[in-house]
Structure 1
Amino acid sequence: MSSLTQRAGRPTQAPSKSNRLGWRTLLAAKGAAFTLPFAAGFVVLFILPLGYAVFQSLYSVKSSGLGLSGNTTVFVGLDNFITAATDPRFWESMGRVAVFACVQVPIKLALSLMLALGLDYLKGRVVAGLRIGLLIPYMIPGVVGTLVWIYLYSPEIGPLTEFGKFFSLNWNFLSDAMMWPSIGNLLTWDSIGFNMLIIYASLQAISPELFEAARLDGAGEARIALSIKVPFVRSALVLTGMLSIIGLLQIFAEPLLFRSFVPEVVTKDYTPTLMIFNQAFDSNNYNYAAALSLIFAVVIAGASFLYYKFTNKPEA
């Protein structure tokens, strides 16, 4: 009886430090296990290709002797990067795309914002129908959408050309002067629904009490949109703007397909990605293409950082 009393009165011992560390380690391991699929994909699809591109960029294929004994791969160090940094064609294509992005991104974001504000103002089943209609272009594969628009732009059989002739407009959407507006219209049609959906979802997170208080103070719908809704979706605008900039700088499928119809307008170095593609698979200069790709990746990262730095400012 006395032994039972002693056991009952004995205080419960706290878990040792080693047991606590073991339990925390187990919890951390379980949490890390959820990231394994992403980590594996990140390593296989990003880290390894990036490392291989760096390796390729340090070498070059040169002819042996008079070229009769075949080619040999030699280590050239940073020669490919120096050539790429001084290649005027590469930087001209980069400037061409940069100017296009400075014009097209604000237009696309403004249209997406207006559509999101319009859907937020509407109520009922109309909103659901409009959302689906605006998202259909985004769900269509880019290659299919580009081919459809090339048909619409065609000077011979395109309906837009005939529509212009009805109003005495002799326009050619595949000409040198109209090529970038034609591509910009295609990209806006393709992605405006996606951007609109992100902004619209951000609008739904705003408390309705703010709108009620503004209406009690006499604010109209336009004032509510400018003073309440637009500031609240600033983060969504920053996100969609960054995604648009990255996507436009890497534009490839659209100019590649346009080139098959008007090669005299869309040249091999019309965009940076098109130039890299032709260097790798047309000229078989994989090493130089790898160097161009790495420089291009640095430029995109720098542009994204600067955009985020100057747009994502904390609220006062």
Structure 2
Amino acid sequence: MTTTTRRAEKPAALLVPSPGRHRRNSKAWAPWALLAPFLLLFILTFAIPILTAVAQSFTKVTRQGVFGEQGVTTEFAGFANYAQALSNQNFIASIGRMLLFGIVQVPVMMVLCIILALLLEGASARWPAFFRASYFMPYGIPGVIATILWSFLYVPGLSPLIDIAAQFGIELDFLGPNTVLWSIANIVTWSYTGYNMLIIVAQLKTIPNEVYEAAKVDGASSWRVARSIQLPLIRPAVILTTVFSIIGTLQLFAEPQVLQSVSPAINSEYTPNLSAYTTAFAYNDYNVAAAQAVLIALVAFILSFAFLRLTNRRSK
């Protein structure tokens, strides 16, 4: 008698992939697929240039021959490029000049944008959309064009302001050694006040109407509402715009470069970015220029970090 044994066959359901598992896998990859274009651009335009600049700041390139036709040697330089950058008195002076610029210009601009934002969001404000667009419009003008426009008010013989002041015996010199820095500050303030104002306006719009109604019931005046309600609640936006302004101060480049052609007081290393640009493209010393760029980034980070620590300590 023969016994036949048959292997149990697996159910068909076990041989077919689970649709739930497929959906879970697709959901896990969906965010990365959406982020892939941004991440690719971020790596190519931000991460790789920064890492390249840091790497070049620690290397030294020696060219044999006039144009390096006899060979190019790259070697590790340690902190030699940083020492050379810090020994450049013009570069150090440019950082000090921008610190003075920021100490004066940033607070003035922040006060202006806060006042404008509060006025535009006031209950009695008329045509707020028109004035918001008008104040923001200078930000849409490129820095080079804005500097050219303002130079017509700075250059003697072209400026009506200088001619009018001369009629009253007042001599104005917007491009002199002691005034050109504040002429640049005026251009920057004119360009970026509206931009910072919009950020603060966006923060003001998040304040619930119930808060204003409660203050009205309590008989609070407009000044009291601004001081006790609006100013404390827009603090995050003010901190954000101040940090942006501190970083932008050290990145100043277009305005002094354009005014350099009409103001002898502006040299080729007037600002830190202009100094790094001159070192790279006028002196062909890209490694020292990379070290200067890294130092500028470090100074911006230190200043921003110190400001954030100070504001956080006061809030506590």
TM-score when normalising by structure 2 = 0.87
Aligned equivalents of 2:66 and 2:242: distance in 1?
A: 52
Aligned equivalents of 1:92 and 1:190: distance in 2?
A: 25
Aligned position for 2:89:
88
- Maintained 8 Å contact 1:235/1:312: no
- Maintained 8 Å contact 1:80/1:291: yes
Aligned position for 1:201:
202
- Maintained 8 Å contact 1:59/1:73: no
Aligned position for 2:156:
155
Is 1:309 the counterpart of 2:315? The answer is no
Deviation at 1:313, TM superposition (A): 5.8
Please list the CA deviations of residues 177-201 of structure 1 after superposition, one character each: whole Å capped at 9, or x if unmatched: 1111111111111011111111111
Aligned position for 1:250:
251
- Maintained 8 Å contact 2:65/2:71: no
Is 1:112 the counterpart of 2:125? The answer is no
SS in 2 for 1:199: helix
- Maintained 8 Å contact 1:238/1:312: no
Please list the CA deviations of residues 227-286 of structure 1 after superposition, one character each: whole Å capped at 9, or x if unmatched: 101111000101111111111110000011111112x30112211000000001111111
Aligned position for 1:79:
80
Change (3 A) 1:314 1:92: closer
- Maintained 8 Å contact 2:250/2:296: no
Output aligned runs, 1:255-270, within 5 Å. 255-262=256-263, 264-270=264-270
Please list the CA deviations of residues 38-86 of structure 1 after superposition, one character each: whole Å capped at 9, or x if unmatched: 1111100011112222332233344649999857333123311222233
Aligned equivalents of 2:308 and 2:22: distance in 1?
A: 41
Q: Structure 2: which amino acid aligns with 1:213?
A: A
Q: Structure 2: which amino acid aligns with 1:152?
A: L
Aligned position for 1:293:
293
Aligned equivalents of 1:265 and 1:141: distance in 2?
A: 23
Aligned position for 2:53:
53
Change (3 A) 1:108 1:166: same
Is 1:29 the counterpart of 2:20? The answer is no
SS in 2 for 1:121: coil
Aligned equivalents of 1:277 and 1:296: distance in 2?
A: 12
CA RMSD of aligned residues (A): 2.5
Aligned position for 2:273:
273
Aligned equivalents of 2:313 and 2:206: distance in 1?
A: 20
Aligned position for 1:12:
none
Deviation at 1:209, TM superposition (A): 1.6
Aligned equivalents of 1:206 and 1:69: distance in 2?
A: 66
Aligned equivalents of 1:106 and 1:153: distance in 2?
A: 24
Q: Structure 2: which amino acid aligns with 1:259?
A: Q
With 54-63 and 135-144 compared, the bigger mean Cα shift is at 54-63
Aligned equivalents of 1:107 and 1:136: distance in 2?
A: 19
Aligned position for 2:220:
219
Unaligned stretches of 5+ in structure 2?
Answer: 1-17
- Maintained 8 Å contact 1:154/1:173: yes
- Maintained 8 Å contact 1:61/1:71: no
Identity of aligned residues (%): 37
Aligned equivalents of 1:288 and 1:157: distance in 2?
A: 40
- Maintained 8 Å contact 1:116/1:199: yes
Is 1:98 the counterpart of 2:99? The answer is yes
- Maintained 8 Å contact 1:183/1:254: yes
State the number of aligned residues. Answer: 299
Unaligned stretches of 5+ in structure 1?
Answer: 1-17
Change (3 A) 1:71 1:283: farther
Q: Structure 2: which amino acid aligns with 1:109?
A: M
